[in-house]
Chain A
Amino acid sequence: MSEEQIRSLENQFEARIARDEKIEPKDWMPEKYRKTHIRQMSQHAHSEVVGMLPEGNWITRAPSLRRKVALLAKVQDEAGHGLYLYSACETLGISRDELYDQLHSGKAKYSSIFNYPTVTWADMGAIGWLVDGAAIINQVPLCNTSYGPYARAMIRVCKEESFHQRQGYEIMIKLANGTPEQKELAQDALNRWWWPSLMMLGPTDAESIHTEQSMKWKLKRKSNDDLRQQFIDQTVPQAELIGLTIPDPDLKWNEEKGCYDFGEINWDEFWQVVKGHGPCNKERMKARVGAWEEGEWVRDAAMAHAEKKQERKQKQAV
């Protein structure tokens, strides 16, 4: 293909996206589009799967049967999202095994928030309320992204995430209206998860390397700072409603701008965790790699069994 032909294809491609048409797996796409989507979608899939660990940590200790069932269902949803997103990713010509390799070798990233420990039951509330809340703000615009399989996956993912968010907030309501001890659990969880949740929406626009191209491909529709502001403005009244205090002395309603001003985010902490030195980075990777390695004989056996069955079938046919 001549350079001119490629340019023409690229122009047609960009025009389709500008017209809000969906790009499907078999359509021609620039290599950079393919790679960027593999990176973002797999990062999302990895986040779902690693994200099962901090919440899975409380399944055996959930305080009531109702909460245990709800938590199990929630973590199962996350596994389902992971499966769905890995499959969507595979439509771009990469295998799930390759994607796992990237996660396990540290080449691929996952959301840094899951590198924080879940130390009390209230963290199940805070994660649902704040972490899933921030995730929804990130993800709702993706329901209209240009790559068809991703956009369709996100519609379903967002529906379930919004249910999780309400479930998390409901845990917090119950704690906040409970005994002083329970209220303290809720406030402590908010204190610990607030800043990491703000960081979850990504580095400030000035520091974000992917924004411009992603905006063009509708892989991103708002900047990190805009999303963060939206999250804060939405969450502060929810905290006030249940009598919890946002752990930010600089938080103040700005009448003129019609939004909240907030304090400085500790970006050193953000980059420390991103670079692999957060409180649980090593544990999370150890758990994932361990499950994969310990499961190898099981996967091998399943393959061997399927082959034997196939052979027997063929022999019978002869």
Chain B
Amino acid sequence: MKNENLYNYILGIADNSLILGQRMGELCGHGPSLETDIACTNISLDLFGQVRSYFQYASKIAGDNRSEDDIAMLRKEREYKNVLLVEQPNTDFAYTMARQFLFDVYHLAFLSELQKSTDLTLSAIANKCIKEVSYHERFSSDWVKRLGDGTEESKAKMQDAINYLWTYTDELFHQTEADKIMVSEGAGVDVTKLKEAYYKNVGDLLEVATLEIPESKYFQKGGKEGIHTEHLGYLLSDLQYMQRTYPNMEW
């Protein structure tokens, strides 16, 4: 492949939306209210829309007749590059919203930088996605506040979710080799520079939500290198089911 770094870089971005979109899609019809159900489905829909833009571009870069669907659904587990955070399961509504919030704050900052990419396609995609993601961030932040500063029960559940997921936040700012090369070429975002503002923003909101900021200094990473938690395999077996069972067909 001529531009393997760019290809890997796009996958690194898109896989986060793909896996989180899949997780949010699982909730359809099972939300705590009709309004939240619609909102979660809508977030999933936005994320898959973004995935399509990224993978259509990746497919062009790869130039080997692989379609957006081949890229999305026919890789092996170790070839998915999403961060561990987005693959965590929908344990309950607090986990779902905490996961969304912890990702959205990062996602928004990331896209804001990606808009400045020297790669015009990536910059255009970022430009389109940022409007959607700023809505996601507002939605998830509101729910962290509602559940944190709601009832005793909701506060305990939200605190538990934040504590559990905290360990996966640091990976968002970990740079892969493809990242480093893309940053040096001006096309990629230097995620290390987003870290400070991220923890500040997240911390401020947790404070408003009357929640404790976790103090743990132990973090997990590996997703960006394709080493995932045990949850991902099951998610992929749903995602890939049709493409694996009925190979080489048009749908």
Flag if A72 contacts B154 (CB, 8 Å). Answer: no
Partner of B250, one of A83, A121, A178, A297: A178
**A56-B29 CB under 8 A given contacts A75-B41, A295-B93, A297-B154:** yes
Contact across chains for A63 and B30 when beta carbons are under 8 A apart = no
Stretch among A204-212, A226-234, A299-307 lining the B interface: A299-307
Cross-chain contact A291 with B32 (CB below 8 angstroms): yes
Report whether A294 and B92 are in contact in the complex, using a CB–CB cutoff of 8 Å.
Answer: yes
User: A52 to B38, alpha carbons, bound, how many Å?
Assistant: 11
Contact A69 B149 (CB under 8 A): no
- In the bound assembly, the distance between CA atoms of A52 and B31 in angstroms comes to 11
Chain B contact residues (Cβ within 8 angstroms of A): what range? 35 or more
Cross-interface CB contact of A298 among B22, B42, B72, B147, cutoff 8 Å: B147
- Chain B contact residues: helix, strand, loop or mixed: helix
Chain A CB within 8 A of B103 CB: no
Q: Do A291 and B29 touch across chains, with their CB atoms under 8 A apart? A: yes
CB neighbors of A among B91-130 (8 A): 92-93
* Minimum CB–CB distance for A41 against chain B, Å: 15
B29 touches A297 (CB 8 A): no
Are the CB atoms of B28 and A67 closer together than 8 Å? no
Interface pair A298/B36, CB less than 8 Å apart: yes
Candidates B28, B31, B37, B242; contact of A61 at CB < 8 Å = B242
Most chain B CB within 10 A, of A68, A69, A83, A299, is at A68
Binary per-residue interface labels of chain B (12-42) against chain A in the complex, 1 for a CB within 8 Å, 0 otherwise: 0000000000100110111111111110011
A59 is contacted by which of B25, B32, B49, B154 (Cβ under 8 Å)? B25
Chain B residues, Cβ within 8 Å of A178 = 249-250
Task: Count chain B CB atoms within 10 A of each CB in A76, A83, A182 and give the residue with the most.
Answer: A76
Q: In the bound complex, do residue B45 and residue A301 qualify as a contact, i.e. CB atoms below 8 Å apart?
A: no
Contact B149 A305 (CB under 8 A): yes
Quick check: A60 and B26 within 8 Å, CB to CB? Answer: yes
What number of residue pairs across chains A and B have CB atoms under 8 A from each other? Answer: 137
A291 to B, closest residue via Cβ: B30
Interface membership of B185, Cβ < 8 A: no
Inter-chain contact B153/A301, CB cutoff 8 Å: yes
Whether the pair A69, B49 counts as a contact (CB closer than 8 A) is: yes
A residues in contact with B150, CB < 8 Å: 300-302, 304-305
Q: Answer whether residue A79 sits at the interface, using C-beta atoms and an 8 A cutoff.
A: yes
Do A65 and B29 touch across chains, with their CB atoms under 8 A apart? no
Which A residue sits closest to B235, measured CB to CB? A60
Nearest to B55 among chain A residues (CB) is A65
A190 within 8 A of B: no
Partner of B22 from the list A60, A63, A174 (CB cut-off 8 Å) is A60
A287 within 8 A of B: yes
The listed residue (A67, A69, A295, A308) touching B33 by CB distance below 8 A is A295
Does A219 have its Cβ within 8 Å of any Cβ on chain B? no
Supposing A72-B28, A72-B48 touch, asked if A67 and B37 sit within 8 A by C-beta, the answer is no
CA distance A301 to B154 in the complex (A): 6
* 11 A-B interface contacts by CB (under 8 A): A49-B29, A49-B34, A53-B29, A63-B246, A65-B48, A69-B48, A178-B249, A181-B249, A295-B31, A295-B32, A302-B146
